[in-house]
Structure 1
């Protein structure tokens, strides 16, 4: 969905909010268990995690409010450098997903804790090639693992959540090695912070921060 259509649709959704929720929208966060397999907290250099879960505006905002996260960038992953442009991503034919690159301090937050936030409040991992009003493979649920350790932890957590029947529908999240990440255009960065009153943000993304604070009060950072 292109930038103009996304904003236009959001206005229509807000108008309908009193009557119904958009198809596929998840109205409540999901309380999840800690990852049984996780990297221990340890001193060392900052690490990178890359997650895709629908429109990157909301996913970026969620991780920007997690303690231990030092930087979050919206961008594209899964396709080539030549097609890493918003105008092309919207066709759904580039192989890219809207994604976020999360730089975090492993002494303050673990990869497993980031996964818990990702599955719990950042997006709905049971929606295939969509998130709420946004439809297409560019909005798919996917983890781009930056190391073999991350891949093992992510796959183990998906298996753990599946076995526990944490969601009413199957988890569709893919886990694949990170090949490249391309930052999105400047106007996409910090979008929620810069446009807090935009209807799309108010309806789809702002509630995620409320849920983050409710479920993860010890991990939540304001600002």
Structure 2
């Protein structure tokens, strides 16, 4: 099993997307990249902890590649807006890839460079993995548990539609 750590706005949205992919065995919403030990949702939402909302992904590299995960990541959020995804504004919603090893770093940098070559202003941070703090239990599998919640109902379905239309070959 391999692991990836991505931040692309609200972790409820990112989690819902990656849970749909074959080879992804677990997605855990949480916080990374900040200064506070054991942050909680309220602290992170205020923006004072410097953490990003992220998802920790466990996956089987025999079924899906890290490069495939990067493709889904970049296609299902806006990597050109600094500290913002839709109505979510603040550093906690930044676009970030935390890499676990040099290979992940090189693959992510190559992906970013390719997008920049298409004249896209990519603001996605690329940095080594910091401490990951799992979010509170009620955030885990949030969309599955709360499909009619207003934010989820508005923000997640368009991402899932894009995922299913563009990455059908990667779906479970």
Shorter-chain TM-score: what band?
A: over 0.9
Tell me, which stretches of 5 or more residues in structure 2 are unaligned?
none
1:148 is aligned to 102
Deviations 1:15-42 (A, max 9, x none): xxxxxxxxxxxxxxxxxxxxxxxxxxxx
Structure index of larger Rg:
1
1:132 is aligned to 86
Q: Which has more strand, going by share of residues?
A: 2
- The structure-2 alpha-carbon separation of the partners of 1:51 and 1:114, relative to structure 1 and needing over 3 Å to count, comes to same
* Contact 2:38 2:133 survives alignment (8 Å): no
Q: CA deviation at 1:62?
A: 0.3
Deviations 1:55-97 (A, max 9, x none): 0001001000011111000000002452521111012121200
1:177 corresponds to which of 128, 131, 155: 128
Question: What CA distance in whole angstroms lies between the structure 1 residues aligned with 2:20 and 2:164?
Answer: 9
* Contact 1:213 1:220 survives alignment (8 Å): yes
2:115 is aligned to 161
Q: What are the residue-to-residue correspondences of 1:14-163 with 2, within 5 Å? A: 46-80=1-35, 82-121=37-76, 123-163=77-117
Count of residue correspondences: 172
Tell me, which stretches of 5 or more residues in structure 1 are unaligned?
1-45
After the TM superposition, which segments of 4 or more aligned residues of structure 1 sit over 6 Å from their partners? none
